[in-house]
């Protein structure tokens, strides 16, 4: 039913957003990264507050035991502060997802997770060593004593073991051997670890035994779990009931590339924007247990959403077999790869391979005047170019330019060099640039753009490489 | 990788700096002032006679009556004020023989948490030993037991003051 695609490709919403309606509104706006810097500042201030707590409660650091126990307390407090932060970063809070971007949140989560494991190690070693000094016991004896006799320390030790196990399985070497699903569900153990670790902090934490501090700390933990439950369980469940998404059509776009068109009710309430993605969970055999990210490949429509994916593994192959009517659980929309990042009059879009998916939606809808919008589309084989007719139609309607950079690297060389880009796109440094494609291509493009004098803040690139 | 090294170095130096900025050694007890003396907590010990508010202890002889004749130096038991610390009060009972500290018993010390008990099981005997040797309250803080040391010296000093008056 081609009519579906046509309608999905020419939505009312996009028209309302200013499709082909002249130059963008460039009123004074905050820098695109303002939200990210604000969030980082807030996180840092929280860390300082935690250190201040220790400072306030400590009158002196005396002897080896004092130094060790002090270090153990500081690292313990910081670890206790970061643990709920890890949950919050992954809680899919809409404002964070839209303003900061899911890719950046995931990267922060990974960095903070590694940092947490280091802090935890330091905390355990210094506390036990310090305590063993004070009690004049052997380190082994003190370890046994702390684990089995201190209150809530069995839970605390279990929490640490779960954290270390997750760290082990997340390490790159181990992760390559695990399927994404296995890794994902193992990772959920960290939620349990954060919960288990809470009670030993409250009971044994020298800085958390007073009323006010204890209350704040508890509120922080409970709040983190509430936010997590709200956005990851309740909201998806509610959206499920409200929108009742189903597969309307699956169609092949090119070799191994399929578009999935979903239909549902009140989809305009989702307020999805071109360039964003959803995590879709198809209620079909082999797909039920994973929520994979799917980018919108057309501007959203009140009744239809079109996604396009490339078959990369067994999962995506099963998507091609989906039957119309299959129920879909959707989380989203997510992502900050949207028109909201544009700060210049001119926009350049660079797509590599199936990275055309969100770029196609942006090409259709980004506010830009005639002649201000350019698309560079890199593919290694002519048959890998998808949406050819759609792109031509959009380009003609909007007065935009499309350039196809097709051919294997061995024949055409690397087309994304500073020299080529400068030749293809005049006034390159006056553009906002959106890049989506395989990681090496995107990295090469970013380097070339930087060499051409494009500011870092003008380069928009979603990277899910951790 | 570079980021990891920067974060690691920053954290380690930050922690060391924080710890380094805090006072070390014996000056701690005097430097700190976040407790009050004489909060009159009931020692709830066996020596109920000395638990009452008047500072004069259960004396067997008048203090300082000049005649320390031979072996007959006066023995008196003074209860020091309870010094409130962050983790609970510390209160001592000091037995003087003349001007000499003959015995120190700890009437109360923080026992609320497990950690308090573990610290004080170790720290209090050490503090007693130090005080007996020094014969005054200018004693070193026991490592890892800063607050207890603090309360200990305060209570000890108050007992000495009372005995002298």
Query: In total, how many domains does chain A have?
Result: 3
Query: Which string of DSSP letters, residue by residue, matches A367-436?
Result: ---TTSEEEEEEESSGGG--SHHHHHHHHHHHT-EEEEEES-HHHH--S-SHHHHHHHSTTGGGEEEEEE
pLDDT, position A221: 96
Residue B130 CB neighbours (<10 A): 18
Token pair of A410 as six digits? 């061995």
A182: Cβ contacts below 8 Å, ≥ 6 apart:
none
Question: Per the domain annotation, does A466 fall within a domain?
Answer: no
Three-state SS string over A271-289 comes to: CCCCCCEEEEEECCCCCCC
| Chain A partners within 8 Å of B11 (Cβ) | 75, 78, 118-119
Test mutation, A134, A167, A204, A206, chain B, max B CBs within 10 A: A134
- Angle among Cα A97, A101, A102 to the nearest 5 degrees reads 75
A244: Cβ contacts below 8 Å, ≥ 6 apart:
A264, A265, A327
Residues A292, A357, single domain; the answer is no
Token pair of B159 as six digits? 């007992």
Q: Would you say the ipTM is above 0.85?
A: no
pLDDT, position A30: 67
Instruction: Report d(CA A349, CA A351) in Å as an integer.
Output: 7
Backbone angles phi, psi at B33, to 5 degrees: -140, 20
pLDDT band at A204 (very low <50, low <70, confident <90, very high): confident
Residues A284, A301, single domain; the answer is yes
pLDDT band at B44 (very low <50, low <70, confident <90, very high): very low
Mean pLDDT for all residues in chain B: 72
**Closest in B7, B22, B115 to A58, CB measured:** B22
Residues A64, A169, single domain; the answer is yes
Token pair of A15 as six digits? 């028209």
Is A112 in the B-facing interface, judged by CB distances under 8 Å? no
**Closest in A62, A118, A134 to B8, CB measured:** A118
pLDDT, position A24: 52
Q: What is the mean pLDDT of residues A302-331?
A: 83
b or e along A422-458 (b: 16 or more beta carbons within 10 Å of the residue's beta carbon)?
A: bebbeebeebbbbbbbeeebbbbbbebbeebebeeeb
pLDDT at A261 over 90: yes
Residues A277, A423, single domain; the answer is no
Instruction: Report d(CA A295, CA B3) in Å as an integer.
Output: 31
User: Higher model confidence: residue A28 or residue A201?
Assistant: A201
Q: What is the mean pLDDT of residues B88-107?
A: 88
Question: Per the domain annotation, does A226 fall within a domain?
Answer: yes
Q: Nearest to residue A242, comparing CAs of A156, A134, A330?
A: A330
Instruction: Report d(CA A413, CA A410) in Å as an integer.
Output: 6
Domain boundary among A237, A254, A270: A237
A-to-B residue pairs, Cβ atoms closer than 8 angstroms: 98
Is A131 in the B-facing interface, judged by CB distances under 8 Å? yes
User: Higher model confidence: residue A346 or residue B121?
Assistant: A346
pTM listed for this prediction: 0.74
Alpha-carbon distances, residue A3 vs A7, A13, A246, A251 (angstroms): 6, 18, 17, 13
pLDDT, position A21: 45
pLDDT at A4 over 70: no
Cis peptide before A333 (omega within 30 of 0): yes
pLDDT at A462 over 90: no
Q: What is the mean pLDDT of residues A90-96?
A: 90
Residues A397, A264, single domain; the answer is no
| Chain A partners within 8 Å of B113 (Cβ) | 151, 203-204, 209
pLDDT, position A35: 86
Residue B32, min C-alpha distance to chain A (Å): 6
Residue B37, min C-alpha distance to chain A (Å): 17
Q: What is the mean pLDDT of residues A287-311?
A: 87
Closest residue, chain A, to B23 (C-alpha): A60
Closest residue, chain B, to A63 (C-alpha): B143
| Structure confidence by residue, pLDDT tens digits, A8-33 | 333 333 333 444 445 555 555 667 67
Residues A313, A350, single domain; the answer is no
Residue B59, min C-alpha distance to chain A (Å): 36
Domain boundary among A216, A237, A258: A237
B58: Cβ contacts below 8 Å, ≥ 6 apart:
B47, B49, B50, B76, B77
Test mutation, B9, B15, B151, chain A, max A CBs within 10 A: B15
Percent of chain A with pLDDT over 70: 90
SS3 assignment, position A3: helix
Q: Could you give the strand order of the β-sheet that contains A277-282, starting from the edge strand earlier in sequence?
A: A292-295, A277-282, A328-334
Is B150 in the A-facing interface, judged by CB distances under 8 Å? yes
Instruction: Report d(CA A102, CA A213) in Å as an integer.
Output: 32
B86–A57 C-beta distance less than 8 A: yes
**Closest in B32, B119, B144 to A63, CB measured:** B144
Is A47 in the B-facing interface, judged by CB distances under 8 Å? no
Q: Where are the beta strands (DSSP E) in A211-291?
A: 246-254, 257-263, 277-282
Q: DSSP letter for A457, please.
A: G
pLDDT, position A10: 38
Residues A166, A48, single domain; the answer is yes
| Chain B partners within 8 Å of A145 (Cβ) | 118
pLDDT at A158 over 90: yes
B119–A62 C-beta distance less than 8 A: no
User: Higher model confidence: residue A4 or residue A367?
Assistant: A367
Instruction: Report d(CA A433, CA A460) in Å as an integer.
Output: 6
pLDDT, position B73: 67
Is B152 in the A-facing interface, judged by CB distances under 8 Å? no
pLDDT at A341 over 70: yes
pLDDT, position A465: 56
**Closest in A60, A75, A150 to B22, CB measured:** A60
| Chain B partners within 8 Å of A209 (Cβ) | 113
pLDDT band at B50 (very low <50, low <70, confident <90, very high): very low
Is B117 in the A-facing interface, judged by CB distances under 8 Å? no
**Range scoring the smallest mean pLDDT among A133-142, A159-168, A230-239, B70-79:** B70-79
| Chain A partners within 8 Å of B151 (Cβ) | none
Token pair of A348 as six digits? 């350049």
**Range scoring the smallest mean pLDDT among A80-84, A98-102, A345-349, B22-26:** B22-26
**Range scoring the smallest mean pLDDT among A170-179, A221-230, A275-284, B140-149:** A170-179
Is A51 in the B-facing interface, judged by CB distances under 8 Å? yes
User: Higher model confidence: residue A288 or residue A365?
Assistant: A365
Domain residue limits at A396 = 339-461
Closest residue, chain B, to A74 (C-alpha): B15
**Closest in B11, B28, B122 to A60, CB measured:** B28
Domain ranges of chain B: 28-164
A134–B123 C-beta distance less than 8 A: yes
A59–B28 C-beta distance less than 8 A: yes
pLDDT, position A120: 96
Residues A219, A310, single domain; the answer is no
Residues A68, A195, single domain; the answer is yes
| Chain A partners within 8 Å of B149 (Cβ) | 62
Rg (Cα) of chain A, in Å, rounded? 26
Residues A97, A132, single domain; the answer is yes
Residues A62, A203, single domain; the answer is yes
CATH number for B28-164: choose from 1.10.150, 3.30.43, 1.10.10, 3.90.1010: 3.90.1010
**Closest in A54, A57, A115 to B7, CB measured:** A115
A134–B144 C-beta distance less than 8 A: yes
| Chain B partners within 8 Å of A67 (Cβ) | 19
Is B145 in the A-facing interface, judged by CB distances under 8 Å? yes
Domain boundary among A212, A237, A262: A237
B118–A209 C-beta distance less than 8 A: no
Torsion of CA A142, A148, A152, A153, to 10 degrees: 50
pLDDT at B23 over 70: yes
pLDDT, position B62: 40
Residues A297, A362, single domain; the answer is no
pLDDT, position B52: 36
């Amino acid at each position: 039913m081609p009519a579906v695609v046509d309608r999905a490709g020419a939505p009312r919403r996009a028209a309302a957003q200013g499709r082909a309606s002249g130059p963008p509104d460039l009123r004074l706006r905050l820098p695109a990264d303002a939200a990210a810097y604000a969030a980082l500042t807030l996180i840092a201030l929280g860390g300082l507050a935690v250190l201040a707590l220790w400072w306030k409660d400590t009158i002196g650091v005396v002897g080896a035991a004092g130094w060790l126990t002090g270090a153990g307390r500081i690292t313990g407090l910081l670890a206790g502060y970061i643990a709920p932060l890890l949950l919050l970063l992954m809680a899919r809070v809409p404002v964070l997802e839209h303003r900061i971007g899911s890719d950046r949140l995931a990267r922060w989560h990974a960095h903070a997770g590694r940092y947490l494991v280091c802090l935890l190690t330091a905390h355990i070693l210094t506390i036990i060593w310090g305590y063993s000094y004070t009690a004049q016991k052997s380190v082994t004896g003190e370890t046994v004593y702390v684990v089995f006799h201190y209150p809530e320390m069995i839970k605390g030790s279990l929490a640490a073991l779960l954290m270390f196990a997750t760290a082990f399985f997340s390490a790159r070497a181990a992760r390559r051997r695990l399927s994404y699903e296995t890794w994902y569900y193992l990772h959920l153990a960290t939620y349990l670890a954060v919960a288990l670790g809470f009670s030993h902090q409250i009971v044994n934490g020298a800085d958390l035994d007073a009323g006010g501090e204890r209350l704040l700390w508890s509120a922080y933990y409970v709040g983190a779990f509430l936010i997590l439950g709200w956005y990851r369980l309740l909201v998806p469940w509610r959206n499920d009931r409200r929108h009742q998404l189903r597969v309307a059509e699956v169609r092949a776009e090119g070799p191994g590339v399929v578009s999935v068109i979903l239909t549902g009710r009140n989809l305009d309430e989702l307020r999805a924007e071109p360039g964003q993605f959803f995590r879709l969970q198809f209620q079909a055999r082999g797909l039920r247990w994973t929520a994979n990210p799917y980018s919108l490949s057309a501007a959203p429509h009140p009744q239809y959403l079109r996604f396009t994916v490339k078959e990369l593994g067994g999962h995506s192959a099963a998507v091609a077999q989906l039957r119309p009517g299959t129920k879909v659980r959707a989380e989203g929309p997510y992502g900050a790869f949207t028109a909201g990042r544009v700060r210049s009059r001119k926009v350049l879009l660079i797509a590599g391979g199936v990275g055309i998916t969100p770029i196609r939606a942006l090409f259709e809808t980004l506010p830009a005047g005639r002649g201000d919008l350019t698309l560079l589309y890199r593919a290694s084989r002519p048959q890998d170019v998808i949406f050819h007719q759609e792109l031509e139609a959009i380009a003609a309607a909007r007065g935009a330019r499309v350039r196809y950079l097709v051919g294997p690297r061995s024949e055409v060389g690397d087309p994304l060099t500073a020299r080529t880009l400068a030749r293809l796109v005049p006034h390159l440094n006056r553009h906002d640039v959106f890049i989506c494609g395989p990681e090496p291509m995107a990295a090469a493009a970013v380097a070339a753009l930087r060499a051409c004098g494009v500011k870092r803040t003008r380069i928009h690139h979603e990277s899910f490489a951790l | 990788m570079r980021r990891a090294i920067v974060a690691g170095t920053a954290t380690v130096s930050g922690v060391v700096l924080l710890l380094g900025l805090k006072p070390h050694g014996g000056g701690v007890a005097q430097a700190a002032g976040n407790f009050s003396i004489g909060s009159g907590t009931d020692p709830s010990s066996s020596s109920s006679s000395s638990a009452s508010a008047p500072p004069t202890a259960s004396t067997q002889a008048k203090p300082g009556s000049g005649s320390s004749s031979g072996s007959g130096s006066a023995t008196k038991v003074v209860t020091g004020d309870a010094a409130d610390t962050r983790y609970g009060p510390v209160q001592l009972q000091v037995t003087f023989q003349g001007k000499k500290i003959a015995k120190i018993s700890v009437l109360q010390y923080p026992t609320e948490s497990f950690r308090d008990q573990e610290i004080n099981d170790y720290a209090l005997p050490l503090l007693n030993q130090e005080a007996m040797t020094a014969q005054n309250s200018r004693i070193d803080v026991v490592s890892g037991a800063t607050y207890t040391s603090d309360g200990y010296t305060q209570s000890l000093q108050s007992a000495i003051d009372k005995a002298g008056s």
